[in-house]
Amino acid sequence: MFESSYLNKVYNELLIKSKNEPEFLQAVEEFLKSIDLIIQDHPDIEKYSIVERIVEPERIIMFRVPWVDDNNEIKVNRGFRVQFNSAIGPYKGGIRFDKSVTLSIMKFLGFEQMFKNSLTGLPMGGGKGGSDFSPTGKSDHEIMRFCQSFMSELYRHIGADLDVPAGDFGVGAREIGYLFGYYKKLKNEFTGAFTGKGLSFGGSLVRREATGYGVCYFAEEILKNIKNDSLKGKRVIVTGSGNVGTYTAMKAVELGAKVIAMSDISGYIYDENGVDVNYVRDIKEKQKKNLDSYLMYQPSCKFVPDYKSVWTIKADIIFPCATQNELGIEEAKKIVANGTMMVCEGANMPTTIEATDYLMDHNILFAPGKAANAGGVATSGLEMSQNSMRFSWTAAEVDSKLHSIMENIFETCYNTAKKVGKEGNLVVGANIAGFLKIYEAMVAEGVI
């Protein structure tokens, strides 16, 4: 599979050890395809068994999360925290609540997070956590009781200098409030052991918007540097209307693009005149409804109750911001046939390996999530700095730091790809650049 016999050996062993972890194996395979290009020039990678070590999480915590629902019935979920790698800083990464959560999904997310965090240039290691609990349809009290039970175990494994969780799919402001509140009570101290906090208790301005804003800043860098172009006037599709999708859509509009379609689990809305992205945010954040309710606001818009068919719409740029593997080979073929210019990932690993190769083979500009969506965790890093300093930056200050971090990530990925003879291949650039810093730290820190 790989040119390097060392990588083949390590990956074949992992195939056996992690045979029930398809998402994790997918993330590792995609990463190793890039590392294959530099392995000959870096004999220390094999000498120090870096790949064997980097694919093995430093620690995995799995725990029971019992809670009582509104009917007084006892429910049990499974909780996870994967502390993947702390070579360059404390473990850092979000918490996901969704019924699909498995150890494989936690490990793939923790693995990706490690390289993403390295790319930000900030001192953060990689981790991820979550539970197979779905907040959808639960009352506020049920969610609070669940979060408290989850934290009653997790609190002993996290801390401002140890492991700093944040939100992810299914974990937004409400959940973070309940999780942080209980952490604070159990530890009996107020420290920045969580990011994405509310503004009244240590959160950073622009953290809520940061992932989506960063996705657009990254897309702008690609267009500017590779095509001498910009988002202005581009017709855009955004999949997923959660935290990442909503703020990607809002920033895209601010930068002059027209968002013609957005999706959620209930289906997609399509309007050639442009979707009112502020109203979509209102539906999802305040009304907590499905996108079909957009029709009441704008009856001329089209609603299709099948999120999968959103890929048939013709657009210049697609931002997949929903979930892993939402864009497979069939979707990629439609995207190419539609003459799309760029796919810029807002979600983590939304594109399968086959689809990624197909898109890039057909000259579609492709931005991998671990680079394009790094603005969220980068701003989490800025929140950690502000908490340590007991100080807050203004929105303009945070936004400008976020903007320059995204510019730097683009430049790093672009230059790294060029150096290994793959100019324009940002997947290779992101994987290699993210890895090299961790590798150097792992060699320096010894066999641990």
Residues that bind ligand 2IT (CB under 6 A): 92-94, 113, 116, 166, 168, 195, 348, 376-377, 380
Kindly state whether residue 239 participates in binding ligand NDP, applying the rule CB under 6 A: yes
Residue facing ligand NDP at closest CB distance: 242
Closest contact distance (angstroms) between CB of 318 and ligand NDP is: 12
Tell me how crowded residue 263 is: count the other CB atoms within 10 A of its CB: 27
Helical packing angle, 353-361 and 22-35, nearest 10°: 40
Q: Does 425 bind ligand NDP (CB under 6 A)?
A: no
Q: Is 169 in the site for ligand NDP (CB under 6 A)?
A: yes
Q: 241 touches which of ligand 2IT, ligand NDP, none (CB within 5 to 8 A by kind)?
A: ligand NDP
The answer to the question of residue 379 lying near ligand NDP (CB under 6 A) is: no
Residues taking part in catalysis: 128
Find which of ligand 2IT, ligand NDP, none residue 199 binds, CB within 5 to 8 Å per kind: none
| DSSP H helical ranges for 96-169 | 103-119, 140-154
Nearer to ligand 2IT, 116 or 258 (CB): 116
Among residue numbers 196 through 225, which ones bind ligand NDP (CB under 6 A)? 211
Q: What is the smallest separation between the CB atom of 376 and ligand 2IT, expressed in angstroms?
A: 4
Is residue 384 involved in binding ligand NDP (CB under 6 A)? no
Q: Which does 244 bind (CB under 5 to 8 A by kind): ligand NDP, ligand 2IT, none?
A: ligand NDP
d(CA 186, CA 262) in angstroms, rounded, equals 41
Query: Residue 265 or 337: which CB sits closer to ligand NDP?
Result: 265
- Cβ atoms of 123 and 88 closer than 8 Å: yes
Instruction: Name the residue type at position 232.
Output: K
Kindly list the strands in the beta sheet with 258-264, ordered across the sheet, starting from the edge strand earlier in the chain.
Answer: 302-304, 267-270, 258-264, 235-239, 317-320, 342-344, 365-367
Nearer to ligand 2IT, 193 or 341 (CB): 193
Burial 97-110 (b: 16+ CB within 10 A, else e): bbeebbbbbbbbbb
Identity of the residue, 258 or 370, whose beta carbon is nearer to ligand 2IT in the bound complex: 370
Angle (nearest 5°) at CA 20 between 169 and 90: 50
In DSSP terms, 344 is beta-bridged to 367
What is the Cα–Cα distance from 408 to 375, expressed in whole angstroms? 11
With CB under 6 A, what is the number of residues at the site for ligand NDP?
Answer: 30
For residue 169, the minimal CB distance to ligand 2IT (Å) is 8
> Of the two residues 81 and 234, which places its CB atom closer to ligand 2IT in the complex?
81
Residue 242 touches which member of ligand 2IT, ligand NDP, none, C-beta under 5-8 Å by kind = ligand NDP
Binding to ligand NDP by CB under 6 A, coded x per residue (else -) over 302-331, reads -----x-------------xxx--x-----
SS (H, E, C) 170-235: CECHHHHHHHHHHHHHHHCCCCCCCCCCCHHHCCCCCHHHHHHHHHHHHHHHHHHHHHCCCCCCCE
Strand order in the sheet with 91-97: 59-68, 74-85, 126-131, 91-97, 163-166
Dihedrals phi, psi of 143, to nearest 5 degrees: -65, -40
Neighbours of 59 (CB within 10 A): 13
Closest CA to 103 of 85, 74, 130: 130
Q: Return the number of the residue (84 or 268) whose C-beta is nearest ligand 2IT.
A: 84
What residues make contact with ligand NDP under the rule CB under 6 A?
Answer: 94, 167-170, 172, 211, 239-245, 263-266, 284, 290, 307, 321-323, 326, 346-348, 373, 376
